[in-house]
């Protein structure tokens, strides 16, 4: 997607887009690119979630976008402030890869799968359906989310580009 109105979402960041702007984030390995969309108002949101739970936060000023349990409510607040309705929202997500194979797989090393699980649980709490996802595997992704169509474009070196 080549688009003039590009809104970049960095690692442990979130943002919203309207008026046909494209949200883009790169470097999704174990991180999850979570998108929310109100198809009537055409308001899109994206969070680049790094970790599943803010319970492990050690920073003095909490970065709400970094954790699934705080990023999703913050993204919802911003989208609602822009005119979106939670009742109409649909979610898509990509990423959550298991980037390193390790024997004995302790839960603390399953960051990607735990990020996906945590995002899924939070969306369930808000009754937001996940209509499509491209998660897991052991490869990185770059995603672009179109605020006009709600299309999520996923690019990876191994598998090229696909749209969901």
Nearest CA-CA partner of 93 in 143, 128, 148: 143
The model carries a pTM of 0.91
Question: Higher confidence at residue 86 or residue 62?
Answer: 86
- Annotation marks residue 31 as catalytic: yes
Q: What CA–CA distance (Å, rounded) separates 155 from 140?
A: 9
Domains of the chain with CATH codes: 6-163 (3.30.1330.200)
What's the rounded mean pLDDT across residues 22-36?
96
Which stretch of DSSP H or E encloses residue 116? Answer: helix 111-125
At residue 106, the pLDDT reads: 56
24-42 burial by CB neighbour count: b if 16+ within 10 A, else e? bbbebbbbbbbbbbbeebb
Active-site hit among 14, 23, 31, 84? 31
In this predicted model, what pLDDT tens digit does every residue of 94-151 receive, in sequence order?
999 997 766 555 555 689 999 999 999 999 999 999 999 999 999 999 999 999 999 9
Q: Confidence class of residue 1 from pLDDT cuts 50, 70 and 90?
A: very low
> Is the Cβ–Cβ distance between 35 and 23 less than 8 Å?
yes
Flag whether pLDDT at 54 surpasses 60.
Answer: yes
Helix (H, G, I), strand (E, B), or coil: what is residue 37?
Answer: strand
What's the rounded mean pLDDT across residues 12-34?
96
């Amino acid at each position: 997607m080549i688009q003039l109105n590009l809104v970049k979402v960095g690692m442990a960041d979130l943002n919203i887009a309207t008026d046909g702007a494209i949200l883009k984030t790169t470097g999704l390995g174990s991180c999850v690119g979570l998108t929310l969309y109100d198809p009537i108002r055409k308001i899109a949101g994206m969070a680049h979630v790094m970790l599943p739970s803010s319970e492990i936060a050690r920073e003095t000023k909490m970065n709400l976008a970094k954790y699934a349990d705080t990023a999703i409510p913050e993204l919802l607040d911003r989208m609602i402030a822009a005119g979106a309705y939670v009742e109409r929202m649909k979610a898509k997500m990509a990423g959550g890869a298991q980037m390193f194979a390790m024997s004995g797989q302790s839960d603390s090393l399953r960051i990607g799968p735990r990020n996906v699980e945590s995002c899924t649980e939070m969306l369930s709490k808000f009754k937001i359906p996940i209509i499509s996802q491209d998660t897991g595997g052991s490869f990185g992704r770059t995603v672009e989310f179109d605020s006009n169509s709600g299309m999520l474009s996923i690019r990876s070196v191994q598998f090229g580009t696909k749209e969901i």
